[in-house]
Amino acid sequence: MDSSTILEKYFPQLSAQQKAQFQELGNLYVEWNEKINVISRKDIEHIYERHILHALAIGKFQNLSRKKVLDVGTGGGFPGIPLAILFPDAEFTLVDSIGKKIKVVHAIVDKLGLENVDALHQRAEKTKGKFDFVVSRAVTRMKSFVHWVHPMIQSEKPEDNCGIIALKGGDLEEEMAEIKRMYQEVSISKYFSEPFFETKKIIFVPF
């Protein structure tokens, strides 16, 4: 499986180390997905587009360099692991309530030598610490999500941006009306031209 074409098209500044890590990442998911289902099996052949590039859309929306980032309900590491490769100077904490998924995250992080990722087997609501951004994909409705994570969001520098950045799809009007907060919706097609992204959105809830 070759990552270079699709990732380098949108991220031409990747270092040789990042390119090698992304290349290895696809191979590791193929290997692990045979043992533990972290990605829908029919999707594994599209891992670079539908999972890795999808996760990296967050990096197009917000520069996470030197930020503290929490990925809630990371499953096998999405969006956290691709973002940790893209932003080696940011600190990532990945949590999931299913232990075997965190086991996959640990194995992948070790194999890639990622030093900026901490992966914890725990429920989102129990997470300790403060983060600039909480990211997620496909975890729960935004109303519950805001409730879980709002105590954990706080920028160390009050003048900086902070909040929730979620990858979502489809019609979100009803779901987002429930949160009764300001938010921003950005179509991922703005960044990536593949038809897969036509219905995909980034939702930013500032805090």
Question: Residues forming the annotated binding site for S-adenosyl-L-methionine?
Answer: 73, 78, 124-125, 137
Q: Which of 14, 52, 69, 95 binds ligand SAM (CB under 6 A)?
A: 95
CB of 52 vs ligand SAM, minimal distance in Å = 11
Our CB check for ligand SAM shows the closer of 6 and 120 to be 120
The nearest distance, CB 23 to ligand SAM, in angstroms, is 20
Q: Which of 90, 34, 62, 36 is nearest to 164 (CA)?
A: 62
**Residues touching ligand SAM, count (CB under 6 A):** 15
With CA atoms as reference, report the closest residue to 205 among 177, 189, 188, 182: 182
Q: How far is the CB of 30 from ligand SAM (least distance, A)?
A: 15
Should residue 138 be labelled a site residue for ligand SAM when binding is judged by CB under 6 A?
Answer: yes
Considering the rule CB under 6 A, would residue 139 count as an interface residue with ligand SAM?
yes
**Under rule CB under 6 A, residue 97 binds ligand SAM:** yes
Strand-pair category, 68-72 with 200-206: unpaired
Residue from 9, 66, 123, 190 in contact with ligand SAM (CB under 6 A): 123
Question: What's the token pair of residue 112?
Answer: 């890639």
Residues 153 and 90: beta-carbon distance below 8 Å: no
Choices 18-26, 106-114, 132-140, 158-166; region in contact with ligand SAM by CB under 6 A: 132-140
Closest by CA to 86, choosing from 53, 119, 111, is: 53
Indicate the residue among 7 and 38 with the shorter CB distance to ligand SAM: 38
Calpha distance 195→190 (Å, rounded): 12
Distance CA 137, CA 145 (A): 11
* Contacts with ligand SAM, 157-186, as mask; x by CB under 6 A: ------------------------------
CB 70: neighbour CB atoms within 10 A? 27
Q: What are the structure tokens assigned to 121, written together?
A: 């087997």
E-strand spans in the chain? 68-72, 91-96, 117-121, 133-137, 163-169, 184-187, 200-206
List interacting residues with ligand SAM (CB under 6 A): 72-75, 78, 95-98, 101, 123-124, 137-139
